[in-house]
């Protein structure tokens, strides 16, 4: 067998090719989302149930003192709105991870991964596409919530955007990291029990952390260490045109760590490679 | 069978004649899933503008080999080159020249034919206008132009396969891999797909590696690689493989080769 000789000089990829690829992946994710109406509806119904029912019931039980970024006493609904926004993104990130497991089983992931562009870039595009979908869901929720008297300053809708992009990327890359370790679709129930619920409840989404601290100091530390808490706080402050620097740092750092982990896990010489053939055997 | 290529071999070869560079070269590739060895020191090549049939039963290692060539799995040992580009070292350049049709269906069923093609084109960095023109052209060639806006879900199995082949050709690759592309299709659809791919070889000079366990898909003039239990048992032009096995046809040659291997394995 002849040894490998180079036929053409490598020409690399132009910025335009990268952009075409990115927009193509986001476009496809958007199309798929539009075709899955049930997914959109359930993504909206979930936080609205919390808002309309849970918050109404708890309004009298939980008193909220004035804590930043709020400047006046607020209704419990107003307090949990940012937590519910983050919850939408948490579910979306995990659902994207589900779709990656599904894609891998169905072979669509193969189509993505045989693209000649660098694999890290492809996965980053996939993350951005998932985040874009979560933004649609969050803004749809905000529009409905506005009629429920959750009325942050108008410019807050704009200032919250970068926070949502960052938290969407963090939760998406966490989902991707988890998906690389899931072999089968059924394991998503495990993700719900061991990732989504603990992350959501051990956070500042439903109750201010000073309240948690009164109840259990240990749980307070768990909440403080939970990246989801910081996603919630980042969104909460940004919605009221403020920056929570600690949360920004935590969310930013976690995004980088999760993303590197996910890209590492999908590296052909590691992660997937340890498994058996993905498709038919033979 | 050749021994594994030395790892630190210098790449200073005289400037090669383009026709001499193999479309695909597999050099001493081995792969294991834990203790199970799926490929053992596999070496062979595919010439440009040739039809090479990779013949093997289910479980022979064909899909593993395809996963290595397409970089879905990392290469544990040996080397894979596509027109001289090492798949591990310069995957971008290698994958750019490669079109692939996987055994499981990999289309988005809820998207239209055109949308599926445009997505694939984007993954190769082909700008929208160019992609739309190529998609229309390819759909016309596979006789599905009037279905361009239908959902893929509404196509028949044979039509989906044709669409997958069209998709694999969108970025104008010079090497096309097909992993058992006719499995589950009726006689007519099978014949259509085989003749279409053979046309690509003769008319466009594409090198084809066609994995199959169906002997009737191979004809005289094809190159043959017989893969069995992860090892290459024979390779070369079909006539030579048959005569060297002392057989009259591919079927008998295959049975003799694999049977002999099993006996040798048992006796050694």
- Asked if the model's pLDDT at residue B233 lies above 80, the reply is yes
- Asked if the model's pLDDT at residue A192 lies above 50, the reply is yes
Using an 8 Å CB-CB cutoff, list chain A residues near B20: 2
pLDDT: which is higher, A55 or B6 = A55
Give the up-direction half-sphere exposure of residue B262: CA atoms within 13 A in the CB hemisphere: 8
Res B115: pLDDT: 96
**pLDDT confidence bin for B260, thresholds 50/70/90:** low
Using an 8 Å CB-CB cutoff, list chain B residues near A112: 123
Non-local CB neighbours of B207 within 8 Å, separated by 6+ positions: B22, B23, B24, B46, B47, B48, B49, B50, B52, B174, B175, B176, B201
| Interface test with chain A among B124, B163, B184, B230, by most A beta carbons within 10 Å | B124
Min Cα separation B154/chain A (Å) = 15
pLDDT single digits (tens) B17-41: 555 789 999 999 999 988 889 999 9
Res B19: pLDDT: 56
Res A264: pLDDT: 85
Res A268: pLDDT: 64
Cβ contact B118–A21 (<8 Å): no
Res B132: pLDDT: 96
Among the partner-chain residues A7, A13, A16, the one whose CB lies closest to the CB of B21 is A7
Mean pLDDT for A188-200 is 82
Res B148: pLDDT: 93
Cβ contact A115–B123 (<8 Å): yes
Min Cα separation B202/chain A (Å) = 22
Res B77: pLDDT: 92
Res A27: pLDDT: 94
Average confidence score pLDDT of chain B: 87
Give CA–CA dist B39/A229, Å, rounded. Answer: 48
Give the up-direction half-sphere exposure of residue A4: CA atoms within 13 A in the CB hemisphere: 27
Neighbours of B55 (CB within 10 A): 31
Give CA–CA dist A10/A100, Å, rounded. Answer: 31
- Asked if the model's pLDDT at residue B74 lies above 70, the reply is yes
Residue of A nearest to B105 (CA): A107
- What is the share, in percent, of chain A residues with pLDDT greater than 90? 47
- Asked if the model's pLDDT at residue A185 lies above 80, the reply is no
Cβ contact A28–B115 (<8 Å): yes
Using an 8 Å CB-CB cutoff, list chain A residues near B2: 1
Res B265: pLDDT: 44
**pLDDT confidence bin for A180, thresholds 50/70/90:** confident
Res B258: pLDDT: 87
Q: Which of A103-107, A135-139, B219-223, B245-249 has the lowest mean pLDDT?
A: A103-107
Res B20: pLDDT: 73
- What is the share, in percent, of chain B residues with pLDDT greater than 90? 61
Could you report the predicted ipTM of this complex, rounded to two decimals?
0.82
**pLDDT confidence bin for A200, thresholds 50/70/90:** very high
User: Which of A 93-122 lie inside 8 A of B, CB atoms?
Assistant: 106-108, 110-118, 122
Res B6: pLDDT: 45
Give CA–CA dist B22/B44, Å, rounded. Answer: 10
Residue A264 in contact with partner chain B when CB distance is under 8 A: no
CB-based burial, A28-39: b 16+ in 10 Å, e otherwise: bbebbbeebeeb
pLDDT single digits (tens) A241-260: 999 999 999 999 999 999 99
CA angle A125, A192, A227 (to 5 degrees): 60
**pLDDT confidence bin for A282, thresholds 50/70/90:** very low
- Asked if the model's pLDDT at residue B3 lies above 70, the reply is no
Residue A65 in contact with partner chain B when CB distance is under 8 A: no
Residues A109 and A188 sit within 8 Å (Cβ to Cβ): no
Res B99: pLDDT: 95
CA A88 vs CA A91, A133, A136, A172, B65: distances in Å: 5, 10, 10, 11, 41
Q: Which of A166-170, A180-184, B133-137, B185-189 has the lowest mean pLDDT?
A: A180-184
How far separated are the first and last CA of chain A, in Å rounded? 24
Cβ contact A20–B67 (<8 Å): no
Cβ contact A7–B92 (<8 Å): no
pLDDT single digits (tens) A138-159: 999 999 999 988 889 999 999 9
Average confidence score pLDDT of chain A: 84
Min Cα separation B126/chain A (Å) = 7
Reduced to 3 states, what is the DSSP secondary structure of residue B112? strand
Res A269: pLDDT: 56
Q: Which of A15-29, A265-279, B158-172 has the lowest mean pLDDT?
A: A265-279
Non-local CB neighbours of A217 within 8 Å, separated by 6+ positions: none
| Interface test with chain A among B125, B130, B161, by most A beta carbons within 10 Å | B125
Among the partner-chain residues B22, B71, B104, the one whose CB lies closest to the CB of A268 is B71
pLDDT single digits (tens) B108-163: 888 999 999 999 999 999 999 999 999 999 999 899 999 999 999 999 999 999 99
Give CA–CA dist A213/A220, Å, rounded. Answer: 5
Cβ contact A282–B63 (<8 Å): yes
Residue A10 in contact with partner chain B when CB distance is under 8 A: yes
Res B95: pLDDT: 93
pLDDT: which is higher, A1 or A13 = A13
Using an 8 Å CB-CB cutoff, list chain B residues near A33: none
- What is the share, in percent, of chain A residues with pLDDT greater than 70? 85
pLDDT: which is higher, B262 or A80 = A80
CA A227 vs CA A195, A232, B163, B239: distances in Å: 12, 9, 44, 65
Residue B135 CA, distance from chain mean position: 22
Res A243: pLDDT: 94
């Amino acid at each position: 067998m002849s040894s490998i000789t180079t036929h053409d000089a490598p020409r690399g990829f132009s910025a335009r090719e990268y952009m075409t690829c990115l927009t193509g992946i986001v476009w496809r994710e958007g199309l798929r989302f539009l075709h899955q109406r049930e997914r959109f509806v359930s993504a909206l119904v979930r936080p609205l149930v919390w808002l309309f029912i849970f918050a109404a019931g708890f309004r009298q039980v939980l008193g909220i003192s004035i804590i930043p970024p709020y400047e006046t006493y607020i209704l419990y609904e107003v307090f949990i709105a940012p937590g519910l926004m983050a919850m939408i993104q948490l579910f979306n990130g995990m659902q994207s991870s589900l779709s990656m497991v599904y894609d891998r089983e169905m072979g669509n992931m193969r189509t993505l991964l045989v693209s000649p562009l660098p694999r890290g870039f492809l996965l980053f595009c996939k993350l951005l596409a998932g985040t874009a979908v979560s933004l649609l869901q969050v803004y749809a929720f905000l529009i409905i919530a506005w009629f429920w008297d959750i009325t942050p300053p108008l410019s807050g809708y704009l200032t919250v955007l970068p926070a949502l992009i960052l938290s969407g990327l963090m939760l998406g890359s966490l989902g991707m990291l988890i998906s690389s370790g899931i072999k089968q679709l059924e394991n998503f129930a495990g993700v719900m029990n061991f990732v989504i619920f603990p992350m959501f409840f051990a956070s500042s989404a439903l109750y201010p952390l000073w309240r948690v601290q009164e109840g259990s100091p240990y749980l307070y530390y768990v909440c403080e260490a939970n990246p989801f808490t910081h996603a919630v706080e980042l969104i909460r402050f940004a919605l009221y045109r403020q920056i929570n620097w600690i949360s920004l740092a935590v969310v930013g750092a976690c995004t980088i760590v999760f993303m590197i982990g996910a890209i590492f896990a999908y590296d052909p010489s590691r992660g997937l490679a340890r498994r058996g053939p993905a498709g038919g055997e033979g | 069978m050749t021994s594994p290529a030395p790892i630190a071999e210098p790449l200073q070869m005289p400037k090669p004649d383009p026709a001499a560079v193999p479309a695909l070269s597999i050099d001493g590739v081995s792969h294991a899933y834990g203790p199970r060895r799926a490929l053992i020191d596999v070496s062979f090549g595919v010439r440009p503008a040739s039809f090479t049939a990779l013949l093997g039963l289910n479980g022979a290692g064909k899909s593993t080999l395809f996963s290595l060539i397409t970089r879905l799995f990392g290469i544990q040992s040996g080397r894979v080159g596509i027109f001289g580009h090492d798949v591990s070292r310069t995957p971008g350049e290698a994958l750019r020249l490669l079109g692939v049709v996987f055994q499981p269906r990999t289309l988005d069923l809820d998207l239209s034919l055109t949308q599926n093609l445009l997505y694939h084109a984007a993954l190769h960095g082909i700008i929208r206008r160019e992609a739309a023109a190529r998609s229309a052209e390819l759909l016309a060639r596979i006789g599905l132009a009037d279905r361009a806006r239908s959902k893929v879900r509404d196509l028949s199995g044979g039509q989906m396969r044709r669409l997958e082949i069209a998709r694999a050709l969108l970025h104008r690759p010079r090497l096309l891999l097909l992993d058992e592309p006719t499995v589950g299709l009726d006689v007519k659809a099978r014949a259509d797909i085989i003749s279409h791919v053979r046309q690509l070889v003769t008319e466009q000079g594409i090198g084809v590696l066609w994995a199959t366990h169906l002997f009737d898909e191979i004809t005289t003039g094809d190159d043959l690689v017989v893969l069995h239990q992860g090892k290459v048992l024979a390779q070369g032009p079909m006539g030579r493989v048959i005569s060297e096995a002392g057989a009259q046809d591919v079927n008998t040659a295959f049975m003799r080769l694999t049977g002999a291997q099993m006996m040798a394995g048992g006796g050694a």
